[in-house]
Structure 1
Amino acid sequence: MKETETIRSAPRTEGTVWKAFRAAAPQTLPVFAGYLVLGLGYGIYVQSLGLPVWLPPLMGTVVYGGLLCYVLLVQMVF
Structure 2
Amino acid sequence: MTTTLDLIREELTQILTDKGAATGEITADTLLLNGPLDIDSLDLATLVVILEEKTGLSPFADGFVLFHTVGELAALFGDAHD
TM range (shorter): 0.3 to 0.5
Compute the TM-score of the two structures, normalised by the length of structure 1.
Answer: 0.36
Q: Taking structure 2 as the reference length, what is the TM-score of the superposition?
A: 0.35
**Highest CA radius of gyration, 1 or 2?**
1
